[in-house]
Amino acid sequence: MTILLPPVKQRLAAGWLVLVVLAGLFAPSAVSPPDLANINQPPFQGGHWLGTTSQGLDVGVSLWQGARTLLLVSLPAAFFTLLAGAVLGGTAGYWGNTRLRITHFQLALALFALLLTGLLLTYFPRFAFWILAGVPAAAAVAWAFLPGSTRSATRLALPLDSSILGLIALVNSVPLLVLVVAAAAVQRPSLTGVVALLSATCWPTPARLMRAATLQCRTQPYVEAAQAAGIPSLRILWRHIGPNALPVLLVRFPLTVAVLISLETTLSFLGVGLPAEMPSWGRLLAAVRQAPPDWWLILWPGLAITLTVLSLQRISGSENRR
């Protein structure tokens, strides 16, 4: 182990990740027909270098196409996870429990918008996108421009921090895998569904990190000066706190991707989440259940998953040390 110096390890890790990304980018999209004449073929025989499954699928091609699925699921999911974490953590950290005060009118407006969104989503699930975009936008316009929305003597303090911490505790109270498998089992398999599900369940850790970083920044003199100068809160968050707090979150990116890859492959292994025709490393690994003696069905996808997750952790570790 002493021969491999840390930079070499990191270079190897980065090299493997680049390989995976390139494989994903250039993977063939055409469905490869199963070679039914050569099922359960061991590696390095005939035309199938890494062997075939009991359904005649080429393990090499499936791994290659699986790399694309990996990118399609884990990268967007990691982005949305961090985005949700940043927004919620930043909100909780900056405003705390007492610093956001709103009028009764604004509270009623927010509750009404929430209720309306829920009702519309229940009765018109087909228009989910328009409802989720339209109702909050309309509420925001009303919030900003309606007379009386800001004119009021008594204002209520919104306990944002407690609410978000409560939500984090709620999501964390159920083991992640149980939560994801339960949700994936009831919804119809789809790529966007899996991305949404993973984002919706993995945000608490980045949210906690972001909250801590924001709390730290908020007490800095330059932030207090900006507040004293009357600069709007959103601008302070964006221009002064964001640039200092976000790097903490970005360091977390490779680890988040690693967690999501493990989750995605676990879901595919269990046969839920992704559509059946989508090649995935987890699904390839699951093929061993139908042919237990076929060791190559464990070796190749197992190796690929292990190397990818370890590489991401190595990269993340070096970022941390920096």
Partner 1 sequence: MLVWMGLLYACTAPTTRSPEGTVRIRWARDPENLDPLIVSNASAYEVANLTHCSLLMGREEAHDFVPWLAESFPTVKHLGDTLLQVTYRIRPEATWDNGTPVLARDVALTLKIMNCTGLPTEMAQAMFGFIRDIRLDSADARRFTLVCAGQSPEHIRSSGDFSVLPEYILDPQGQLRTVSLADMRRQPTLAAAQALARRYQRLQLARHPENLPGCGPYRLSAWQSGRYLTLRRKKSWWADVYPAPPYQLQAYPATLIYQVIPDAATATLALRRGEIDVYGLMPAAEFTRLQQSADDRQRLAFYTADAYEFLTASFNVRQPVLRDAATRRALGFLFDVPALIKATQQGAATPSAGLISPRMKEYYNDSLALPAFRPAQTVAMLRQAGWQRQPTGRWQRTSVQGTPQILRFGVSYRAGEPSFETAALQFRAAAEAIGIEVELRPTEQAVLSRQLQAGETDMCIRNYSGNPFSYDFTALLHSRGIGASNTTQFSSPLTDHLIEQITTTEDTRKKRLLLRKFQRVMAQEMPFMVLYFLKYRVAASRAIGVVPVSGLKPGYEAARISPIKTPL
Closer by beta carbon to partner 1, 117 or else 262:
262
Shortest separation between residue 86's beta carbon and partner 1, angstroms:
33
Q: Kindly list the distances between the CA atom of residue 320 and the CA atoms of 20, 208, 277, 309, 314, in Å, as whole numbers in the listed order.
A: 23, 17, 39, 16, 10
Shortest separation between residue 76's beta carbon and partner 1, angstroms:
21
Closer by beta carbon to partner 1, 199 or else 266:
266
Residue 121 to residue 133: CA distance in whole angstroms = 12
Closer by beta carbon to partner 1, 58 or else 161:
58
Beta bridge partners of 101: 157
Closer by beta carbon to partner 1, 69 or else 81:
69
Q: Strand 101-102 vs strand 156-157: parallel, antiparallel, or unpaired? A: antiparallel
Radius of gyration of the chain (CA): 24
Instruction: List residues near partner 1 by CB under 8 A.
Output: 30-34, 36-37, 39-40, 54-57, 271, 275-277, 285, 288-293, 298
Distance from first CA to last CA of the chain, Å, rounded? 22
Where is 172: in which H helix or E strand? Answer: helix 160-173
Closer by beta carbon to partner 1, 221 or else 293:
293
Shortest separation between residue 172's beta carbon and partner 1, angstroms:
23
Shortest separation between residue 125's beta carbon and partner 1, angstroms:
18
Shortest separation between residue 38's beta carbon and partner 1, angstroms:
9
Q: Kindly list the distances between the CA atom of residue 153 and the CA atoms of 146, 160, 298, in Å, as whole numbers in the listed order.
A: 16, 21, 67
Contact 82, 249 (CB under 8 A): yes
Shortest separation between residue 39's beta carbon and partner 1, angstroms:
5
Task: Work out the burial of residue 44: count CB atoms within 10 Å of its CB; fewer than 13 is exposed, 13-18 middle, 19 or more buried.
Answer: exposed
Closer by beta carbon to partner 1, 175 or else 221:
175
